[in-house]
Chains A and B, each alone.
Chain A
Amino acid sequence: AQSVTQLGSHVSVSEGALVLLRCNYSSSVPPYLFWYVQYPNQGLQLLLKYTSAATLVKGINGFEAEFKKSETSFHLTKPSAHMSDAAEYFCAVRTTCRRALTFGSGTRLQVQP
């Protein structure tokens, strides 16, 4: 079975500071990993995805994530936070044999001026 753990349901950073959102997964087979962002009253937008190519994945809006198999992690980072980054972020895993996405519980990012 696959599962996702996101550490920290709320993260607050200052504008211009580093953003680090943590995600650990468990999967018995090689996974596909995703980060989605949800702005208030909107649907989910794909930020980036890992599909067994490069371990460092670059996404939209300056975000990137690194797949670390030894740590079973896929943490999301952005060097400098912007006010517009305030949203909820979801990590998700999908295995090669199942198309269902399993989501973490989400992390709400606040950006302070």
Chain B
Amino acid sequence: EAQVTQNPRYLITVTGKKLTVTCSQNMNHEYMSWYRQDPGLGLRQIYYSMNVEVTDKGDVPEGYKVSRKEKRNFPLILESPSPNQTSLYFCATFGTDTEAFFGQGTRLTVV
């Protein structure tokens, strides 16, 4: 079964404490992306990766890092989280077809 798996699903953390949200896909897709969802703003792209070791900024990259050392994994790193990064995060992967596949989401709260 085609899957995009994010962990954790829920996370509460304190300002400044580094955290990583993992994303893994089993579809052998080259393209992966991170989005954040905020009320009234829809989903906005944070970073994307066209392939291993190739990453680039999306529309809202400030305060985030990513890495793509293997094709299946695309972790999102918050080096020093702040309350304005409280949001719902989605990982997505795209194949050669037009459709995107999304993870179940990670709800992050930074206090």
Contact = CB atoms under 8 A, between A and B. Distances in A.
Contact of B40 (A9, A42, A46): A9
Interface residues of A, number: 22
A37 B43 CA distance: 13
A100 B99 contact: no
Contacts of B99: 34, 46, 49
B9 to A, nearest CB: 9
Interface string A1-36: 000101001000000000000000000000010100
Contacts of B94: 99
Contact of B42 (A34, A42, A94, A104): A104
Nearest to A32: B98
**For chain B, what secondary structure do more than half of its interface residues adopt (helix, strand, loop), or is it mixed?**
strand
Given A9-B40, A90-B43, A51 B102 contact: no
A113 interface: no
B58 interface: yes
Given A32-B98, A43-B102, A44-B90, A103 B43 contact: yes
A51 B42 contact: no
Nearest to A102: B45
Contacts of B44: 103
Interface in A80-104: 90, 92, 94, 99-104
Nearest to B93: A99
Taking residues whose C-beta sits less than 8 angstroms from the other chain, chain B's interface range is: 20 to 34
B83 to A, nearest CB: 22
A77 interface: no
Interface of B: 31, 33, 35, 40-45, 48, 58, 90, 92, 94, 98-100, 102-105
Contact of B102 (A44, A94, A105): A44
A90 B35 CA distance: 14
Contact of B92 (A90, A101, A102, A106): A101
B100 A101 contact: yes
Given A46-B99, A49-B98, A100 B45 contact: yes
Contacts of A94: 98, 100
